[in-house]
Structure 1
Amino acid sequence: MKELGWDPTVEQIRDGEGFQYKFTIGDEVFTTRESHLPSTGGVPDSGRPSTCFPIKLGNIARKDTGIPRRVHTRTIFHDVGVALNNITSLADILSCLSGALQALRYMHKAGWVHRDFSVGNAIWFGGMGKLSDFEYAKKIDSNTSHDVRTGTMRFMAVEAESEIYLFLTRHARRLDDRSSLRMNFLHDIESIWWVFTWILFYHTDTNTANADHSFDAHAQLKEYYLAFPGTVGRTSRRDFFLDAGQLQTKLENILSKTCFNVWSPIIPDFADALQDSYQKAEANFPLLALDDALLDDIHTKAAAYLDDAQRRASGIELCPLSNLLKQKRPRPGDETSLPPNNQGKKARNA
């Protein structure tokens, strides 16, 4: 940091029963006001507006996941951005996601994997998406026998969750080392898909939220919990990713027309492209064909899907389903509006 002209001082101060840290850099002061949530990936807590499922958004039981705890670190950036999950403009969300995807491409080209892509570590700053939170990043090592389950549950690749290869040939499924999973760039790209899909299922557009009284937010939220249960081993999550036909039907049945026109058929097509790539990579297991051609192909396709969605997303503002369900249902003719578009759009604290 001193190379950047910064000479920070750090002071531990008591905050109730706990502690927080105060960083002083020149004339600026930063404090660690928010608790560290190592497994939620920045997913906001909805307060569980629906009682259909016992899992709260943002809460993951450690005993259920088996995901190792991170070492608590604080990294101070000169730039102050907004995490993807705090952006309300759909076009900006997709642009942010595209920028983070480009950053992943640089990592993958260098032989590294991120292993924890989520809505909390794609940062929107100055009209550009940036990637952060590299605690779990590692160089791809063919000599490593097995990777432990790593990442944020809701955005974790299904193979990473299962800790086994799932797209093997029939013969390879009989091999003893099927469970020797090592995370690769396809798993990072699948996390992009899960974030892409989370945006869709966790929100609706504000026009629908304000005016469409036939929109069933509870039905969409129920599908959200099936796709993002927050615990390991739920078959509904794997089925959601693997069955593109059923996914397309769900999109048609539960989404607002505005959202459906943006996402269909991009979400199912993106999932199919990932599954095709997994099958190519694992065709000659235990050898994995993770070459530059496959890397370039899946990155190019993923970028194209995001660009296609972004072209359709102009002018669309999103509203979390939890906000919508907390509001009193208006009667026909009543004038209601959501909070200002910039509400909840706060800068990410250092």
Structure 2
Amino acid sequence: MDSAMEDMYMGPTIPQVTLEYFLSSCLPPVDEEIFSKVYDNLKAKKVITKEGWDAMECDELEKRRADQGKESRKQRKRRKQNERRRKKEQNKEQVSQQRTPDGPGSANTPQQVDEPSQTSAGQPAATIHENDFFDPLTHCFNAVLDEANQVLVEEDHWREVLFKFRSNPRSSEATHESHKSDVYALLKESRAIKEPHAEDHESDVILPGEYRKDDNWVNQKENIRKLIGAVNHIMAYDLTRRFMFGITIEHKSTRFWFFSRSHAFVTCRVDLQKEAKQVISVILALGSATLHELGFDLTIERVFSGGISGSSLAMRTPGLYTLGTVANRDQLCHIVREHYDCKVHYRLLMKDAGSTLDDVPNLLTLLKCLKQVVKALQYMYSAGYVHRDISTRNVLYRYDVNGQISVHLCDLEYVKDVSQPREANQDVKMGTPHFIAVEVETGGYLFTSLSRSKATALHPSRALLLGSQWQNARNRQRAAGSRFVFNYLHDLESVWWIMVYTLFSKLPKGMVLEGERLKEHHAIRGQIFPHPNMSAERLLFLRDQDQRISYLDNLPNAFDSIGFLASLLGDYLQTQYELLEDKPEFPSGSCFADLHRTIFTDFLDETVYDKVVFSGGLCRVPPIPVEGPPPATRGKRKVGTEEVEKTSSSFAKEER
């Protein structure tokens, strides 16, 4: 049952690896001679025995649990009363020690030695606190590091152990809340940017750990949840972290974790006592690692600029919206919070990044920018990646010192590696609505021979055409058992949609559209670029040459040349879709080898459009003016003195 629940919780998300793989792939190698010396020294000092860690009371805990099962009801009640009484006495002693001038733990303060309490029946108390059970393990791990330091000095090694294990909580440098774990591996020399370094900061944590006294799937799940939360908390606020380690222990079941910004994995279970030698090998490998091998990016310097000033304010955030009060608590809906995690939003700041394509001054600049975008997509193709979110706002351009246009293709949040085939689910619809490829929008392949043959026999209604095309693509995928995946041609189609969108969103500077002509222009653009829903006209604009030309004929006469260029590029994309999707090797990367080069040499070459494309300034298409009086506002406004006098006089007349 435990393994089944664990598999259901873990799932395929976090893979398990052997401890040997963990040591060889994540940590530096440890010389066998050094390991033997450290292990022998630990045995000589009785830190480790044949049964495992000498300070751990695993057998004592199991014995007390067995004795607890033999107790009668009266004995169990008497034992619990004694435990509560003993706990109150300990709390009083701790308070009295804190009030002494020397404080707890000083030389003048007598140290209390915890002894197992006895019940009236003479049996030891069966309860051992979790912290008392695992506190000796911190000292055991530090003993391994101390012996490693000593052996490294004897062997004249230049590196030394950089951290210590501690159980006390550490503070955060930022204003966010700190995250508390059961055990930490903390750097000896702090990397914190705040002075003084009197406290342990989360910037020094290289390994958080969670432990539980009992080994069951509930405790395993809780340990995993807390460990992942701690690692995510630290790495989200510290950009110098490339990866981190972790450890979870449930009674004697031990696992080591590896977390990077791209993947994570965990080792198989290791018995803390019976396989203590393997645990020592991991601690020793961590102790011999450098800062770089512990996951720190030394090319990034942590700095602190400015300070917190001003008065403190409280911001109230709205919670869940309610529809009313429920009298019966059984009618309350259960909110599954485990599947809803708060996200950290980031903002990328770039110096002199430039302007978006929404602000291009003329069509020549637009074509030059699109050429560089295709070139950037060619570089991504050579690396096996697709962008999946090409839009006017994700392309930034600026002029360099020589007056040349420099383009940045940004917002790589949805970049995906498609060079290697994977057995995965179908790609979800992703992209900006105005520029998303039609196949991505419908979620299926629309240009295969099967789709084209069925398209000729469809009802002439455009709405039915779109629905039938979408259904044909779905049926083809179900019949072939294949899945729809995003490919390189979809990014190129998005570039083409940017060109078309600009033509229908701009006018030559000084041109005026009014009345019915302006309404017709907005209606055509709304059919090709609906938001947020798709339309049949958008699909026909790409597939049907006559339909495309009829729409482009409504553009201003100054846009005839670039409109013809957009129509030719649309024909080329449609042809490539039909050719590639019928190839047996589709959608492998070899199918798209010449696409990018052909587009920026045959369609976006400056010698092709430099002398024929309209080079004048552009302005935005004006919105359709609102007919009739403007709607009344519901906002508050100030009432003038004259209005007050008129209102009071009217009331006086009514009273008369």
2:379 and 2:539 mapped to 1: Cα distance? Answer: 28
Shift of 1:284: 3.8
Is the 8 Å Cα contact of residues 94 and 306 (structure 1) preserved in structure 2? yes
Match 1:73 to one of 328, 346, 349: 346
Is the 8 Å Cα contact of residues 147 and 183 (structure 1) preserved in structure 2? yes
1:204 and 1:214 mapped to 2: Cα distance? Answer: 16
Match of 1:260 in 2: 560
Match of 1:341 in 2: none
Amino acid in structure 1 at the alignment position of 2:551:
K
Shift of 1:205: 0.9
Shift of 1:298: 4.6
1:76 and 1:89 mapped to 2: Cα distance? Answer: 27
* 1:34-45 correspondence to structure 2 within 5 Å: none
Is the 8 Å Cα contact of residues 377 and 596 (structure 2) preserved in structure 1? no
Match 1:240 to one of 535, 541, 544: 541
User: 1:173-195 CA distances to partner (integer Å, 9 max, x unpaired)?
Assistant: 64515771110100000000110
| Structure 2: tracts of 5 or more residues without a match | 1-238, 240-297, 318-342, 400-404, 452-472, 627-656
Q: Considering Cα pairs closer than 8 Å and 6+ residues apart, tell me whether 1 or 2 has the greater RCO.
A: 1
2:484 and 2:570 mapped to 1: Cα distance? Answer: 20
Return closer, same or farther for 1:238/1:207 CA change in 2, 3 Å cut-off: same
1:301 aligns with 2:591: no
User: 1:45-70 CA distances to partner (integer Å, 9 max, x unpaired)?
Assistant: xxxxxxxxxxxxxxxxxxxxxxxxx9
The secondary structure found in structure 1 opposite 2:603 is helix
2:306 and 2:390 mapped to 1: Cα distance? Answer: 29
1:269 and 1:154 mapped to 2: Cα distance? Answer: 20
Shift of 1:289: 4.8
2:514 and 2:425 mapped to 1: Cα distance? Answer: 54
Q: Which moved more, 1:274-283 or 1:215-224?
A: 215-224
Return closer, same or farther for 1:174/1:293 CA change in 2, 3 Å cut-off: closer
| Structure 1: tracts of 5 or more residues without a match | 20-69, 328-350
The secondary structure found in structure 2 opposite 1:208 is coil
1:120 and 1:90 mapped to 2: Cα distance? Answer: 17
Is the 8 Å Cα contact of residues 107 and 113 (structure 1) preserved in structure 2? yes
Return closer, same or farther for 1:181/1:9 CA change in 2, 3 Å cut-off: farther
The secondary structure found in structure 2 opposite 1:128 is strand
TM-score, normalised via structure 2 length:
0.37
* 1:310-349 correspondence to structure 2 within 5 Å: 310-313=610-613, 315-322=615-622
The secondary structure found in structure 1 opposite 2:407 is strand
Shift of 1:119: 0.3
Shift of 1:297: 3.1
2:481 and 2:491 mapped to 1: Cα distance? Answer: 20
Match of 2:410 in 1: 132
1:166 aligns with 2:469: no
1:192 aligns with 2:481: no
* 1:13-32 correspondence to structure 2 within 5 Å: none
1:272 and 1:326 mapped to 2: Cα distance? Answer: 36
Is the 8 Å Cα contact of residues 112 and 137 (structure 1) preserved in structure 2? yes
Match of 2:429 in 1: 149
The secondary structure found in structure 1 opposite 2:373 is helix
Cα RMSD for the two superposed structures: 3.5
2:389 and 2:307 mapped to 1: Cα distance? Answer: 30
Amino acid in structure 1 at the alignment position of 2:595:
D
1:15 and 1:278 mapped to 2: Cα distance? Answer: 58
1:107 aligns with 2:386: no
The secondary structure found in structure 2 opposite 1:151 is coil
Return closer, same or farther for 1:217/1:136 CA change in 2, 3 Å cut-off: same
Match of 1:281 in 2: 580
TM-score, normalised via structure 1 length:
0.67
Shift of 1:208: 2.6
Shift of 1:71: 7.0
1:83 aligns with 2:356: yes
The secondary structure found in structure 1 opposite 2:378 is helix
Q: Which moved more, 1:275-284 or 1:310-319?
A: 310-319
Match of 2:529 in 1: 228
Return closer, same or farther for 1:284/1:198 CA change in 2, 3 Å cut-off: same
Is the 8 Å Cα contact of residues 427 and 486 (structure 2) preserved in structure 1? yes
1:74 and 1:174 mapped to 2: Cα distance? Answer: 41
Shift of 1:166: 0.9
Match of 2:104 in 1: none
Is the 8 Å Cα contact of residues 437 and 490 (structure 2) preserved in structure 1? yes
2:316 and 2:356 mapped to 1: Cα distance? Answer: 25
Amino acid in structure 2 at the alignment position of 1:318:
L
1:16 and 1:119 mapped to 2: Cα distance? Answer: 38
Match of 1:122 in 2: 395
The secondary structure found in structure 1 opposite 2:507 is strand
Q: Whose radius of gyration is greater, 1 or 2?
A: 2
1:82 and 1:17 mapped to 2: Cα distance? Answer: 34
The secondary structure found in structure 1 opposite 2:562 is helix
Shift of 1:78: 2.8
User: 1:219-239 CA distances to partner (integer Å, 9 max, x unpaired)?
Assistant: 222110000001234222112
2:313 and 2:557 mapped to 1: Cα distance? Answer: 47
2:363 and 2:314 mapped to 1: Cα distance? Answer: 38
Shift of 1:168: 1.7
Amino acid in structure 2 at the alignment position of 1:72:
H
Is the 8 Å Cα contact of residues 123 and 131 (structure 1) preserved in structure 2? yes
The secondary structure found in structure 1 opposite 2:408 is strand
The secondary structure found in structure 2 opposite 1:125 is strand
Shift of 1:75: 1.3
